[in-house]
Structure 1
Amino acid sequence: MRHLNPDHLLTLTAVIQKASFSKAAEHLEMSQPAVSHHIKELERRLQLRLVERVGRRVRATEAGGELALHAQRISLALADAEAALTRWTDSAAGKVRIGAGATACIHLLPPMLGRLKRANPQLEIAVSTGNTPEVVRRVEENTLDAALVTLPISSRSLDVTPVLEDPFVAIAPRGAAQGRRSVTAVSLSRHPLVLFEEGANTRALINQWFRDGGLAVRPVMELGSVEAIKEMVAAHLGWSLLPQLGVAQARSRRGIEVLPLSPRLSRTLAWVIRRDKPLSRPLQQVQKAVLALGAAARAAT
């Protein structure tokens, strides 16, 4: 019996995800007639209707949706097979997909990734940002190869390697700290607070720090970007708690003052990767560079 064509399955997945033949064609860098041909061939082979038009959008039939789930797993398995075989070559070429929180993505990873890219021009690195639960889920699903995230996480399918400790600091509008040497939960609660949005591990750590001080946090703003938080504080709209990474450089402190917390609060950034993930040479290079960041930070303290 003739097997299903993996390329046709990939096309079906794209059509369903994009809800459009034309957008799927653009995403796959194919012509729209070729996309339509792939879907028709699948439907002819299976004698089933896999997609249907609803207005201007395309959606999966029940059979099409079930096949798309299998198609995604097949696609990931093929990608893993290809990655596994790269271990038998000397080539540093290849694509590595990593995830990270926005703060690490902006203030930690760029210099390291730049050095890695200059040393290995054929290496392709794609970085996605998101909250820890979202990024960890994508690593588990194998749509990301690995990630640098904030602990804690709970997953039996992942290897977790702590990389570095990142203390939190308080930030205030320029001139508002009035010579204070540190900030407590009580003193900070007297000001309007601009904090990370709920759902992030970073926010959960901040909430616990306030609870340990006998307080429930009530921010006036909740934002998903460390850069947006700094801008709001610089505009005298409140005070905040941020990972020190976000204000480590002088250029990152425009319009704000930075103070240590009492008691101390910190987060741990960890490298997470599936236990069964084949370590291609490109992925090995990225992993080695990320783990070296932690070694360098520990040597500097």
Structure 2
Amino acid sequence: MRGLNLDHVSAFTEVVRLGSFSAAASHLNLTQPAISQQIGQLEKRLGVHLLERVARRATPTAAGSELLDHAARINGAVASLLDGLARFTSGEVGRVRLGTGATAAIFRLPPMLRSLRRKLPELEITIATGNTSDVVKAVQDNALDIGLVTLPAGGRGLEVTPVLDDEFVAVTARDGVALPQRVTPAVMASRPVIMFEPGGQTRVIADQWFFNGGVELKPKMALGSVEAIKRLVEAGLGCAILPAVAVREAGDRANLVMRPLSPRLYRKLAIVIRRDKVLHLGLRETIRALKSLPKAP
């Protein structure tokens, strides 16, 4: 098969997939004569007719069908080869700029990043934290490659893929403000509550939970850090609504009591990325790792 042009094979598969030379030319950003020339050269190289017209649609001949079967394996082999070679070129493995919220960065990402580093030790990863709106804008502006954000989120030219539901729980100190086994909005509002500061999706979701329960909450304090909120709760200054994943460490379990909310409260985390983003090996593996995040703490 010396001298076989893979671009010609690709042109042939596009003609078969789309059913016409003109459609394939448009998809590949080529002229129709250029596509016809590539197919002609491929037929000449292989010594067989590959296409025929049936009801004004280009369809493969028997020889063309045989080539089509092999073309998929050829493309797979080439993709595998390029991925393998990418491990030896920093430009292909590349750099991944990931944006997310502070809670996800602290409690969700470390195990994933450890696994990713073992798989691709040469991959450079930078993490930026911010609210959903900030991360989404940075992804749109190509200042970040990918974001892990709280829904709702979206924008022109972005692909949004939900990956997991993050449950919220009520949290209090073991010797602090007492909470019943199931905590309603009315029950929570009757206690001193420490909330996330306004402006982020996490605060919006919690506020909506209280609103749906017919309660107008006036928090005693509002902070931007989940760790700071936990320390204040531990000190007996109030209770809080936090992602369950943020209260999973042994020290937290020893000092804090978690109670389920009624009704249950979740935030949905999603991947956001530009639709036109070139997915090099490192970015593809990062997306795969984010989609594999554990669903529970």
Task: Normalising by structure 2, report the TM-score.
Answer: 0.67
Equivalent position amino acid for 1:111 in 2: P
Contact 1:234 1:254 (8 Å CA) reproduced: no
2:226 corresponds to: 226
Determine the C-alpha separation between the residues in 1 that align with 2:220 and 2:121: 46
Contact 2:177 2:236 (8 Å CA) reproduced: no
The Cα of 1:270 is off from its aligned counterpart by 0.4
Matches within 5 A, 1:136-175: 136-175=136-175
Determine the C-alpha separation between the residues in 2 that align with 1:180 and 1:250: 22
Q: Greater CA deviation, 247-256 or 202-211? A: 247-256
| 3-state secondary structure, aligned to 2:147 | strand
- In structure 2, relative to structure 1, the CA distance for the partners of 1:88 and 1:119 (3 Å cut) is closer
2:181 corresponds to: 181
RMSD: 2.0
| 3-state secondary structure, aligned to 1:154 | coil
1:106 corresponds to: 106
Determine the C-alpha separation between the residues in 2 that align with 1:118 and 1:88: 16
| 3-state secondary structure, aligned to 1:188 | helix
Runs of 4+ in structure 1 displaced over 3 angstroms? 86-89, 176-179, 251-254
Determine the C-alpha separation between the residues in 2 that align with 1:246 and 1:205: 16
Given the alignment, which residue of 69, 86, 89 partners 1:90? Answer: 86
The Cα of 1:220 is off from its aligned counterpart by 1.6
| 3-state secondary structure, aligned to 1:277 | coil
Equivalent position amino acid for 1:270 in 2: A
1:236 corresponds to: 236
1:249 corresponds to: 249
Contact 1:175 1:257 (8 Å CA) reproduced: no
1:67 corresponds to: none
Determine what percentage of the aligned residue pairs are the same residue.
47
Equivalent position amino acid for 2:200 in 1: A
Structure 2 stretches lacking a partner, 5+ long: 1-81
Q: How many residues align?
A: 212
The Cα of 1:177 is off from its aligned counterpart by 5.7
2:29 corresponds to: none
2:61 corresponds to: none
Deviations 1:250-269 (A, max 9, x none): 33335221100011111100
| 3-state secondary structure, aligned to 1:175 | coil
The Cα of 1:178 is off from its aligned counterpart by 4.6
The Cα of 1:242 is off from its aligned counterpart by 0.6
1:47 corresponds to: none
Matches within 5 A, 1:1-301: 89-91=85-87, 93-176=93-176, 178=178, 180-293=180-293, 296-297=294-295
Structure 1 stretches lacking a partner, 5+ long: 1-85
Determine the C-alpha separation between the residues in 2 that align with 1:221 and 1:179: 18
| 3-state secondary structure, aligned to 2:163 | strand
Bigger-Rg structure (1/2): 2
| 3-state secondary structure, aligned to 2:86 | coil
Equivalent position amino acid for 2:136 in 1: V
Equivalent position amino acid for 1:156 in 2: R
Contact 2:136 2:154 (8 Å CA) reproduced: no
Deviations 1:70-119 (A, max 9, x none): xxxxxxxxxxxxxxxx9795236321000111111111110110111122
- In structure 2, relative to structure 1, the CA distance for the partners of 1:142 and 1:261 (3 Å cut) is same
| 3-state secondary structure, aligned to 1:232 | helix
The Cα of 1:195 is off from its aligned counterpart by 0.6
